[in-house]
């Protein structure tokens, strides 16, 4: 039972990692901004900033994938992921006039936070480790 729970937690890390890798395509194909964020005809500066955001999300995705395999990385990666996702959710919730497509991105972040919370519990990422625990 304990092993199945740990595997489920690891798979949740992988799933959220892949979710974060997906927007990385915008860094390489800015024409996808309309599909991902609902942005059509963005100016050069906005496009550049969104491409940078895509790179940062892809890096977080890679870190989550690494944390799935490296238990010592789980806690710090979880902290960064929670801060990043929660901050985006708060920004969307408190900004009037944001494109409705951003709501679906924020809802995906809510789901990702829930998955990460379950992953943290199942992999014991928040408990201190003793030589006999694992």
Residues 112/85, Cβ–Cβ less than 8 Å: yes
pLDDT in tens, 18-74: 999 988 888 888 888 777 777 777 788 888 888 899 999 999 999 999 999 999 999
Element (H, E) at 5: helix 2-21
Residues 124/133, Cβ–Cβ less than 8 Å: yes
What is the arithmetic mean of pLDDT over 80-90? 96
Q: What share of the chain in percent tops pLDDT 90? A: 58
> What's the pTM?
0.85
Q: Report, in angstroms and rounded to the nearest whole number, the Rg of the chain calculated over CA atoms.
A: 16
Residues 50/26, Cβ–Cβ less than 8 Å: yes
Check whether 129 has a pLDDT greater than 80: no
């Amino acid at each position: 039972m304990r092993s199945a729970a740990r595997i489920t937690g690891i798979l949740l890390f992988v799933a959220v990692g892949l979710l974060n890798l997906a927007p990385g395509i915008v860094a390489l194909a800015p024409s996808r901004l309309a599909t991902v964020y609902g942005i059509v005809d963005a100016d050069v500066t906005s496009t550049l900033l969104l491409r940078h955001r895509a790179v940062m999300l892809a890096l977080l995705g890679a870190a989550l994938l690494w944390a799935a395999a490296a238990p010592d990385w789980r806690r710090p990666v979880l902290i960064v992921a929670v801060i990043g996702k929660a901050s985006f959710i708060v920004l969307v919730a408190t900004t009037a006039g944001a494109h409705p497509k951003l709501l679906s991105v924020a809802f995906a972040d809510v789901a990702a936070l829930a998955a990460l919370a379950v992953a943290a519990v199942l992999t014991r990422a928040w408990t201190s480790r003793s030589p006999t625990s694992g």
